[in-house]
Chain A
Amino acid sequence: MFRFLVRRVIGAMVILLIISAITFWLFYAVPRDPAMMSCGKNCTPEALAQIRSNLGIDKPIPVQFWEWLQGAFMGREYAGYGHCDAPCLGYSFANREPVFGTIMDRLPLTLSLAFGAALVFLVLGVGAGMIAALKQGKFLDKFASSASLFGSSLQIYFVGYIAMYFLVSKMGVLDQPSYTPLTENPGAWFSGLLLPWLVLAIIFTANYTRMTRSQLVEQLSEDYVRTARAKGLSQANVFFRFAWRGAMGPIVTVFGIDLGTLIGGAMITEATFSLQGIGRLAVASVNQSDLPMLMGVTVLAAGAIVFFNIIVDAVYALIDPRIRLA
């Protein structure tokens, strides 16, 4: 198990390194010169050179990347800013704030959004899927199956506004989405994020219902489940210890992928509910050609995807001994 994890982590580090190198090269190879943009109209060559060296973009791209990597692991000296401590991802071109600090400010919102929604749709989706699998062919099954297909055809940028229109503007049942840190006021944190969670849940639940149902139906028809029943084990025992355990694998996989997407791809959700998280930060930094910020957000998002991949692999290995031993 330990060796398995170590291998996975090393593989993930390599992929992350490659992704950051590609990203760095592509972003910094853009023909639009950020120094020109911040220099303004009456720009002298000297001023331009000064800005270049302040921004750290006067050197060749590989050297810049090496310095960026050094900064990320050991900290580095910045011409315009002085020393920058260990996880240093540079300074924003747009507002001169440290990238790492800005990301850390925005991250709690995106994480709250992702994990809160994940909890809701995992419970609802898996629950509905279990019921559907137990009541195969009955009304509940048909209802769950068709509702799930409908849900997966909905989009946040449509359902979000419809929900806000009816639940917030017209009926006033829920609060306008907003973010208050959990440590400050748990009640406000919860009520501010409830609507986004529910909307995300409507969309994501569908997939889990469908998957849980089909996996369980398949497992319940396996020979070992019949054997367990024939031995006289209780219905609940057969269902949870035998069928459910076999059905969990693919659900864990998709859940890992979804978590990565929720954290790294929250732009549309955050834009819909006007929340200032990582996603909005990414869109803003694209519009301002703020390369260091964009680089930081991209590496974070890729890191989230890779990280949850490892978690999925580890959980998979726990569930299914065949993978551990292979």
Chain B
Amino acid sequence: MTPPTPSAATPLEVIDESVEKSPSPSTPKGNESRSPGRLAWKRFRRDRTGVISAYIVIFFFVIAIAAPLIAKLYGKDPYTTYASQRPELLNAFSYPAGPNGGMSSEFWFGIEPQLGRDVFTFLLYAIRTSLGIAVAATILTTVVGVVIGVTAGYLGGRTDYLVGRIIDIVLSFPSTLFFIAFMPVIYGIFVAADDDVPTWLRATAMIILMAAFGWASIARLLRGQVLGLREREFVEAAKVTGASPMRIVFKELLPNLATPIIIQSTLMLPAFVTAEAGLAFLGVGMIDPTPDWGVMIQRGAQFYTEDLTFMLFPGLSMVIFVLAFNLLGDSVRDALDPKSKR
């Protein structure tokens, strides 16, 4: 059940820090000695696409973190239905009265059709929600995947076999379908049938489910890497000198696994962003009135033929974010692992 996977994202060789570091760093020889991390940073800074993408990604994260502050300075919030106070904002068909979705100096990105909320603040908070969930899911998935993968690879034998089979099964699950199917299951555990599901529970359920189906691929990759590293001389040496398994895992193995872990998580984050939005789009994840990229697109889909502007803001901002993050991921991969081919 394990077809050989393409190694596009997989570094073909492990960076052998122990060799690069081995002459003790007290030999300057006129040149300053450079750690692998410093070398990677230098390579990354030369990559113009990567640097620009990094700025875009940072911009999105700053917006997400500072959303309440920006909204305060701007003087509006994403929940107020401005049209109910000022009916002149929408026309007789409940579409924005002004041109381009009602964009004006007061409502920068226009007004939402029907309910008349402010698109600019709604988008700010949408980015905040979506990125928050995706980041949390990425961290949780990476931690779980690393722990399971390294344990399986390091212990080997029966544990490894068992974990390998579990990974096979998890990877055979139709994951989108399971997201959709399990959300009600999780809600059902915490909330009585007729009550509303609180927003925090929706977010938590989503994060847990994403991690529950996401850990397998990173665990499989790391397991393979650890199997290779375990036989290497520097690990043998550590064992012979009486290092505890904890020390071997944290001091010998993990530093060598940093590259694949970072690469995998940069691939994971944009995937989680789009998956989260997709679920909200289907009406299974976050729901209106919680601001969310997917919720916005779902709202936009209801009246895209009449007011495309409203759909363009969440759609384009998401494309820009995902594209920038993918480019950034490529550059990080090139910087950390120059030997790998794309």
Which residues on A are within 8 Å of B, measured CB to CB? Answer: 8, 11-12, 15-16, 18-19, 22, 26-27, 29-32, 36-37, 149-150, 152-155, 157-158, 161-162, 164-165, 169, 210-211, 214, 217-218, 249-250, 253-254, 256, 260-261, 264-265, 267-268, 271-272, 282-283, 286-287, 289, 294, 297-298, 301-302, 304-306, 309, 312-313, 316, 323
Residue among B178, B305, B326, B341 making CB contact with A165, cutoff 8 Å = B305
19 inter-chain pairs at a CB distance below 8 angstroms, sorted by A residue, are A15-B169, A149-B326, A149-B327, A150-B323, A152-B326, A153-B326, A158-B315, A161-B301, A161-B311, A162-B315, A218-B341, A250-B7, A261-B176, A268-B176, A283-B180, A302-B172, A302-B174, A309-B1, A309-B172
Residues of B contacting A150 in the complex (Cβ-Cβ under 8 angstroms):
323
A322 to B206, CA, bound (A): 42
Tell me whether A286 and B188 are in contact in the complex, defined as CB-CB below 8 angstroms, given that A161-B304, A169-B305 are known contacts. Answer: no
Which residues on B are within 8 Å of A, measured CB to CB? Answer: 1, 3-8, 168-169, 172-178, 180-185, 188-189, 193, 270, 274, 277-278, 281-284, 294, 297-298, 300-301, 304-305, 308, 311, 314-315, 318-319, 322-323, 326-327, 330, 341-342
Residues of B contacting A309 in the complex (Cβ-Cβ under 8 angstroms):
1, 3, 172
A272 to B294, CA, bound (A): 13
* Residue ID in chain B nearest A26 by CB atoms: B185
Q: Is A249's CB under 8 angstroms from B278's CB?
A: no
Residues of B contacting A302 in the complex (Cβ-Cβ under 8 angstroms):
172-174
A264 to B176, CA, bound (A): 8
Residues of B contacting A29 in the complex (Cβ-Cβ under 8 angstroms):
185
Residue among A36, A169, A217, A298 making CB contact with B174, cutoff 8 Å = A298
Residues of A contacting B185 in the complex (Cβ-Cβ under 8 angstroms):
26-27, 29-30
Tell me whether A267 and B176 are in contact in the complex, defined as CB-CB below 8 angstroms, given that A32-B184, A254-B6 are known contacts. Answer: yes
A154 to B315, CA, bound (A): 9
Residues of B contacting A211 in the complex (Cβ-Cβ under 8 angstroms):
6, 8
A43 to chain B, nearest CB (A): 14
A282 to B6, CA, bound (A): 31
A242 to B185, CA, bound (A): 52
Tell me whether A267 and B177 are in contact in the complex, defined as CB-CB below 8 angstroms, given that A15-B168, A27-B185, A211-B6 are known contacts. Answer: yes
Tell me whether A30 and B188 are in contact in the complex, defined as CB-CB below 8 angstroms, given that A11-B1, A210-B342 are known contacts. Answer: yes
Q: Is A286's CB under 8 angstroms from B181's CB?
A: yes
Residues of B contacting A155 in the complex (Cβ-Cβ under 8 angstroms):
274, 277-278, 315, 318-319, 322
A173 to B23, CA, bound (A): 68
Q: Is A214's CB under 8 angstroms from B341's CB?
A: yes
A202 to chain B, nearest CB (A): 12
Tell me whether A264 and B3 are in contact in the complex, defined as CB-CB below 8 angstroms, given that A154-B319, A286-B184 are known contacts. Answer: no
Tell me which of A272, A286, A304 has the highest count of chain B C-beta atoms within 10 A of its own C-beta.
Answer: A286
Q: Is A158's CB under 8 angstroms from B297's CB?
A: yes
Residues of B contacting A287 in the complex (Cβ-Cβ under 8 angstroms):
283
Q: Is A249's CB under 8 angstroms from B4's CB?
A: yes
Q: Is B184's CB under 8 angstroms from A30's CB?
A: yes
Residues of A contacting B193 in the complex (Cβ-Cβ under 8 angstroms):
32, 36-37
A161 to B309, CA, bound (A): 12
A190 to B322, CA, bound (A): 32
Tell me which of A149, A157, A289 has the highest count of chain B C-beta atoms within 10 A of its own C-beta.
Answer: A157
A36 to B327, CA, bound (A): 52
Residues of B contacting A210 in the complex (Cβ-Cβ under 8 angstroms):
8, 342
Q: Is A267's CB under 8 angstroms from B323's CB?
A: no
* Residue ID in chain B nearest A268 by CB atoms: B278
